[in-house]
Structure 1
Amino acid sequence: MTGRLILRTLSELCLTAGALTVLLVVHLLLWTGVRADRAMDHEVAALQDTWATAPPAATRAAATPAPAYRDGRPFAIMYIPRLGADWHKPVLEGTATGTLRRGLGHYAGTARLGATGNFAVAGHRRTYGDPFKDLPRLRPGDEVLLTDGVTWYTYVIDKPAYLTLPDDTGVIEPLPAPLDRSATPYSAPGRYLTLTTCDPEWGHSHRLIVWGHLDATRPVGEGMPTALPG
């Protein structure tokens, strides 16, 4: 009887542990994604409301300097047509854990949007909305478009995703300088874009890096870039 009781107890414990594991996976896959999607939609809507009530873009661009990026606050929206017609995410200042739960995070200290240097952005590969889940799909020639409510910035991807280690901080330097110097497509200063996320999808032992260069800008008053539907 004692052996059967122990076996039954162990079986019940295993079933309980299995149920808890399933609940945890559901939480990671679904609930954090739902909450993150809501948070990102809120940040996008807040930006669009701010832009809609601001002075005309042409007046702002000519008369006032660009405001400083505020830690944890959104300042731009990113669109990547390759990742879907509906793919768009807010870009916030900083890469703190709480910030990346509400959108993409701009590495503090890297270049401003459209400026000379390296505009570097991080995003979750999995959980919290999976914003960069499909980053490996990007190919040379793909466009990444951003707007700050005044200007549209079009960056063009220069090479497929590059795999490196988390401590390879040279990838976000003004002139990208990865540990493997042969990996960078750049040899002179310019206006660059760096996108970073974790690899593998459910781990963080490595980082995926995608680089691009600024190809064009246009005032928002001229309408959306042709690469964006609608």
Structure 2
Amino acid sequence: MRERVERVPVVVQGRRGRRGRAARLVWGGAEAAVTCGLVLLLLVVHQLWWTNRQAREGAERQVRALEREWEGEGEGEGAWGSGQSDGGGSSDGGGSSGDAAAPESGGPGPDPAGQQRPAPRRQTVAAPAPRWDQAYAVLRIPRIGIRVPVAEGVSKSAVLNKGYVGHYPRTAQPGQGGNFALAGHRNTHGEPFRRINRLADGDEVVVETKRAVYTYVVDKVLTQTSARDSGVIRAVPRSLVKAGHGYSSPGYYITLTTCTPEYTSKYRLIVWGKLRSMRPR
């Protein structure tokens, strides 16, 4: 009696099976690419649109809050600073520690532009130094439509990413002899310094504080220097990298710094100005 032999069917993978696997792999890769693209797009939208919107709205609220505070306190001030300018605090290497707007003698004296100015009505106690990351002034640049708060320090999270402009510690305060040095974002987070490359000689840069309004005038622009060029924010600002750029004698200066080229932080763009006038609020 013969034994029955069962035949096992053999499935031969043909071209159709290989094509099916390839198609699934291509489809899976396409889905992954689309997902990654959407995530990247959302990140770009967040950085370039949402952070700007949030920071600008927050900065504008802070400006209005400062203005309301100053208006409420203005009636009872009676005078403006004598010992040191608004924000107080001596500047390491920042030139004179006295307020340029109010000489210690209490008498009339020349302003930085060489013109006579009236004496303050009376002497007052110097304003306390601003707290770290405290907004205490407003920066206005009419030429490029800027109106933003100035806060103490240049911390990204506590100051710059809020859309504020940051004051470099150990540099002069508004109106003081020396260099009132500021930093701001050029892209994202409100980008207040986006267009400072458009500033030219003669453009006004106005700094408002609780006690006075200081008007600086753009005098020099350094289009690109190293991010480590600390000379640009010294009391007498002068580049340590680009020979011949900056000043050689003490004065009343303002310095605006930001990153360049746009969307990078490789170099720094510098705008310098000199104090032209000041007036009590």
TM-score, scaled relative to structure 1: 0.90
1:117-165 superposed Cα distances (whole Å, 9 cap, x missing partner) = 1000000000011100001000011110011022110101112343101
Runs of 5+ unmatched residues, structure 2: 1-19, 81-121
| Contact in 1 for aligned 2:180/2:255 (Cα 8 Å) | yes
1:41 & 1:159 partners in 2: Cα distance?
Answer: 29
> What SS does the corresponding residue of 2:59 show, helix, strand or coil?
helix
> How many pairs align?
217
Q: Which protein has the larger Cα radius of gyration, Structure 1 or Structure 2?
A: 2
1:38 & 1:189 partners in 2: Cα distance?
Answer: 38
| Contact in 2 for aligned 1:162/1:209 (Cα 8 Å) | yes
1:133 & 1:162 partners in 2: Cα distance?
Answer: 13
Q: 2:155 aligns with which of 74, 87, 96?
A: 96
2:237 & 2:76 partners in 1: Cα distance?
Answer: 32
1:6-25 superposed Cα distances (whole Å, 9 cap, x missing partner) = 11111111111111111111
Q: 2:257 aligns with which of 190, 196, 202?
A: 196
Q: 1:10 aligns with which of 29, 36, 47?
A: 29
> What SS does the corresponding residue of 2:278 show, helix, strand or coil?
strand
Q: 2:213 aligns with which of 148, 152, 162?
A: 152
Identity value in percent: 41
- Greater shift in the superposed pair: 160-169 or 199-208: 160-169
RMSD: 1.4
Residue 109 of structure 2 is matched in structure 1 by none
> What SS does the corresponding residue of 1:56 show, helix, strand or coil?
helix
Residue 4 of structure 2 is matched in structure 1 by none
The structure where helix makes up a greater share of residues is 1
| Contact in 1 for aligned 2:222/2:245 (Cα 8 Å) | no
Displacement of 1:58 after TM fit? 5.8
1:26-175 paired onto structure 2 within 5 Å: 26-56=45-75, 59-61=78-80, 62=122, 63-84=124-145, 87-98=146-157, 99-102=159-162, 103-175=164-236
| Contact in 2 for aligned 1:58/1:219 (Cα 8 Å) | no
> What SS does the corresponding residue of 1:125 show, helix, strand or coil?
coil
1:56 & 1:108 partners in 2: Cα distance?
Answer: 31
1:121 & 1:213 partners in 2: Cα distance?
Answer: 14
TM-score, scaled relative to structure 2: 0.74
Runs of 5+ unmatched residues, structure 1: 221-230
- Greater shift in the superposed pair: 60-69 or 109-118: 60-69
| Contact in 2 for aligned 1:154/1:215 (Cα 8 Å) | yes
